[in-house]
Amino acid sequence: MTSVPNLQLSTGSGTIDIPQLGFGVWQVPDAEVEAAIATALEVGYRSIDTARLYGNEEGVGRAIEASELSRDDLFVTTKVWNDDHGFDSTLAAFDASLRRLRLDVLDLYLIHWPTPEQDNYVDTWKALLKLREDGRVRAVGVCNFEIDHLQRLADETGELPAINQVELHPYLQQAALREFHAANGILTEAWSPLASGGSVLGDPVVRDIAQKHGVTPAQAILRWHLQLGNVVIPKSVTPSRIAENFDVFGFELDDEDLAAFAPLDRSERTGPDPVAFN
């Protein structure tokens, strides 16, 4: 079985491993998620990314229990949703997520969106730090935070997130944000890494690179993410696609390929703008 590379995720006092390629379950109904995860685990995925918003934490919990894999062999992420922001609300939301997931300890807990108009993400972040301090979660981070949001966390709490999960694909490459992450020890994690399967998969540049290596456009893009140093979490419920998205370790893009990806950036989002999403 292919071994997925690990990256180092800060825990405040040290580091833990996070698989660089994980399995996302956004938009997968609770009734279908158990079968999808079973397929993913069989293929070789060991990292599962869910969220309270997705409505499938219970199914993820069933899948983990049914897998009979050692808990130490799995990396599980979930997220606090916008209506649970605030110190006490976040602690309660975490308890509820853990019950649904049937876990005693979570590997990674994330703030799903900054929702700046609520102006509550700093207190939410303080709750995550407490959960980590209490040993209930191993590492903590955020999603969809811009540089000013991250800087405010550092200014008011003295600690930056271990990871920031953001929309990132060839049409939205987030260069300035990735540069800030790299300078401050924050891992970059890509959601919608294939731009929700839109026109990027048919882009002539992507198609040419894929053809050159004898792979699909999706595989070429996922390989690009890995070589950038991103954590990446493609999602699918189709067994053949789940396997295809995992099969990205038998080839390597060269410098010419990587250079060809760079001009594709259009700052084009498939999801909301974090500055305006409240």
CB-count burial class (<10 Å; 0-12, 13-18, 19+) for 49: buried
Find the length of the chain: 278
Closest CA to 64 of 92, 28, 36: 36
The residue with tokens 């259009």 is 266
Which two structure tokens, joined as six digits, stand for 225?
Answer: 């993410």
Residue 108 contacts residue 138 (beta carbons within 8 Å): yes
Instruction: Supply angle C-alpha 43, 197, 192, rounded to 5.
Output: 75
> Catalytic: 171?
no
- Of the residues 45, 54, 109, 121, which is catalytic? 54
The span from the CA of 236 to the CA of 223, in Å, is: 17
Q: Which residues contact 38 (CB under 8 A, 6 or more apart)?
A: 63, 66, 67
Catalytic residues: 54
